[in-house]
Amino acid sequence: MAETNALDALIQALRRLPGVGVKSAQRMAFHLLQHDRPGAQLLSRALQDAAGHVHHCERCHTFTEDVICSTCLDPRRDHSQLCVVETPADQSALERTNAYKGLYFVLMGKLSPLDGVGPKDIGLKKLFDRASDGLVREVILATNFTAEGEATAHVIAEGLKARGLTPTRLARGVPVGSELEYVDLGTIAHALVDRR
């Protein structure tokens, strides 16, 4: 597809999306130009809008178009609880449970020394200041149960303890609806240790 500069430029630009190689980028460009030009225009404007208007909430770090996001400003939420998550998608998963009514701190990442992501990149100082502002009484660590998520939770827990705060962590255990036979052994072991 070396015929047009505009097409080449589009394929190159699509390759900057995570998980998109040259074949996918070609297929996407072909699809948009052959079958969905309105989609191309729509995506172009959406990118422009989002890149121009979306920034981080001053309190919780999540994406917002305001200075402080609507969750942080919501007076019906419990401002004494602070739940620490890795991404807005994780926050959104917690929200869908309807089981949590406190506030959030969104790290927008996780500690990952190999990728050069340190404490500063995920706003740990801001989180520690926030957690010790006198209003927050419980910090719930809801980073993912992956190696990097666990390491991040550990570092945050240590930092909070140094400031006299003891965070809680989401319980590990057997997923609801699953049969023990098909659950991995590590999960069963944790479910045993964390038994109620």
Contact set with Zn ion (CB under 5 A): 57, 59-60, 69, 72
Q: How far is the CB of 63 from Zn ion (least distance, A)?
A: 9
Confirm if 42 and 31 have CB atoms less than 8 A apart. Answer: no
Binding site partner of 59, from Zn ion, its own copies, none, Cβ cut-off 5-8 A by kind: Zn ion
Determine the number of helices (DSSP H) and then strands (DSSP E) in the chain.
8, 6
**What are the backbone angles phi and psi of residue 126, rounded to the nearest 5°?**
-60, -40
Please state whether 73 falls in left (phi above 0), alpha (psi between -120 and 50) or beta: alpha
* Cα–Cα distance for residue pair 39/148, rounded to 1 Å: 37
Question: Which residues here bind its own copies, judged by CB under 8 A?
Answer: 1-7, 9-10, 12-14, 16-19, 24, 26-34, 36-37, 39-54, 62-65, 69-71, 87-89, 91-92, 95, 108-109
Q: In this structure, are residues 60 and 69 in contact, taking their beta carbons and an 8 Å threshold?
A: yes
Q: In angstroms, what is the minimal distance from the CB of 62 to its own copies?
A: 6
Among its own copies, Zn ion, none, the one that 53 touches (CB under a kind-dependent 5 to 8 A) is: its own copies
**Least Cβ distance, residue 138 to Zn ion (angstroms):** 18
The listed partner (Zn ion, its own copies, none) that binds 42, CB under 5 to 8 Å by sort, is: its own copies
Choose the one of its own copies, Zn ion, none that binds residue 88, judging by a C-beta under 5 to 8 angstroms depending on kind: its own copies
- Strands 138-141 and 168-169 come out as parallel
Residues 84 and 142: beta-carbon distance below 8 Å: yes
Residue 73: name its binding partner from its own copies, Zn ion, none (Cβ under 5 to 8 Å by kind). Answer: none
Complex with its own copies: residue 29 or 157, whichever CB lies closer: 29
Q: Which is nearer to its own copies, 16 or 195 (CB)?
A: 16
Q: Token pair for residue 112? A: 């990952």
